[in-house]
Amino acid sequence: MRKMESNELNIAWCYPDMLNLHGDRGNIMALERIGKMLGLNVNVKKIESFQTEINFDKTDILFFNVGEIRIIESIVDALNKQKEELDRFIENNKMIIAIGTTGAAFGKKLIKLDGKQIDCLGYLDMDCNQRDMVYGNDIIFKLNEDESVEINGNQIQMLDIKTNGATILGTVSYGRGNNGEDKGEGAKYKNLVFTNTLGPVLVKNPWYTEKLIKTAMATKGIQIENSIPDTDFEVERKSIECIKEYNAKKEKK
């Protein structure tokens, strides 16, 4: 793999005015901040509407923040118009990050409370069912591919997720994850990443943001040799320890 020749990270921020719940626009701010700390010029292009075509050739990360369940069908319809390009983007290991409810668009099917079934994009082997009650709590999990990476945040769950044969992103140590039964959190296919974790997750876990950026750059053959000192993440590290202590007290009650 060659040394870094280009210092550009190109992010397509999909449908920001519609996928705008829980302050998760902070995820984009985190990508910009950590990218700059790694010496990159971070370019963010907003995909403003479902009618706007995505330039996949000039995109390193395709980013989807969390939105309402009613938006899922529109996301699926919009992306199906560029399905061949999206297929190629994913199979070439390019990165997609989908947060919260929006991840359902990349699963196989979504069943709403009224019984309507939406056939989704099908990249992640998982089925999503809308809940009649919203679940909310903290969530802490470790990546299955690298247990040294611990991630924390919040979860406001409007779906029960059955992951079937999907590769699970992480294992929950506290919280609900996909369904509250199997300790699984999120799902992954190649570099398509789905997590239920809010927070915003990339603000609260800058070490994970760094890992995602390095992976996205490596996919286009650019190796980032330097790393951000962990001392720069001291506040976030202390925060997760405080949250663990607080949750331990809750569990004892």
Map out the domains of the chain with their CATH numbers.
8-252 (3.40.50.880)
Confidence tier at 22 by pLDDT (50, 70, 90): confident
SS3 61: strand
Q: Rounded to an integer, what distance in angstroms lies between the CA atom of residue 30 and that of residue 213?
A: 11
Q: What is the pLDDT of residue 41?
A: 96
Tell me the C-alpha distance between 2 and 5, whole Å: 8
For residue 172, pLDDT beyond 60: yes
Q: State the pTM of this model.
A: 0.95
Under 8 Å CB-to-CB from 239, ≥6 apart: which residues? 152, 204
Asked if residue 1 has pLDDT above 70, the reply is no
pLDDT for position 3 = 44
- Asked whether the predicted pLDDT for residue 2 surpasses 90, the reply is no
CA–CA separation, 14 and 98 (whole Å): 10
Which whole number is the average pLDDT over 83-102? 98
pLDDT at 5: 45
User: Is the pLDDT score of 196 beyond 80?
Assistant: yes
pLDDT at 7 over 50: yes
Mean pLDDT to the nearest integer, 21-48: 95
Indicate the range of 6-10, 56-60, 106-110, 120-124 predicted with least confidence. Answer: 6-10
| Low-confidence winner among 2-11, 187-196, 205-214 (lowest mean pLDDT) | 2-11
Indicate if the pLDDT at residue 130 is higher than 90: yes
Q: How far apart are CA 162 and CA 182, in angstroms?
A: 10
Confidence band for 253, pLDDT divided at 50, 70 and 90:
low
Band (27; pLDDT cuts 50, 70, 90): very high
Q: Judge whether residue 26 has pLDDT over 90.
A: yes
Task: Tell whether the model's pLDDT for residue 4 goes beyond 50.
Answer: no
The answer to whether 24 and 65 have CB atoms below 8 angstroms apart is yes
Average pLDDT, integer, range 78-105: 98
pLDDT, position 6: 72
| Lowest mean pLDDT segment, chosen from 2-16, 68-82, 129-143, 169-183 | 2-16
Average pLDDT of span 165-180? 97
| Portion of the chain with pLDDT greater than 70, in percent | 98
* Residue spans of beta strands (DSSP E) within the chain: 8-14, 41-47, 61-64, 95-99, 109-111, 117-119, 127-143, 150-162, 170-174, 184-185, 187-189, 192-195
